[in-house]
Amino acid sequence: MNKLLNISSEKGRPIYLQIVDSIIDAVRRGNYKKGDRIFSINELSNEYFLARDTVQKAYNILHEKGVIVSVKGKGYYINDVNLDTSFKVLLLFSKISNYKKQIYNAFVH
């Protein structure tokens, strides 16, 4: 469980987002697998001298993304290791022209 997170107050990025990024990066690198227990909110806040609210905010984001789940009385666990995201794009054209058709084809292929 003690897989180090890459957190620094000098990065210019909010700490809670650094926690989110670090855990997602650890999953992508294979350091965490589905079902692995991660730090509790108290453990992470004590280990890295962070406010509990900061860690809670990060865990809420990870939970919303489906990366972690909480088991009451047990802790937080990695839920999903498939973090590939896909995007949906909506193109609206009033009239189709050759130029607009090229744009459309670029998105489709």
Task: Tell me, yes or no, whether 107 lies in a domain.
Answer: no
Distances (CA, A) of 80 to 41, 43, 76, 97, 105: 19, 22, 12, 43, 33
CATH of residue 61: 1.10.10.10
Task: Tell me, yes or no, whether 55 lies in a domain.
Answer: yes
21-54 pLDDT per residue, tens: 999 999 988 899 999 999 999 999 999 999 999 9
Q: Is residue 2 pLDDT above 70, yes or no? A: no
Q: Mean pLDDT over residues 71-98, rounded?
A: 80
Q: Give the count of beta carbons closer than 10 Å to the beta carbon of residue 67.
A: 21
Q: How many independent structural domains does the chain possess?
A: 1
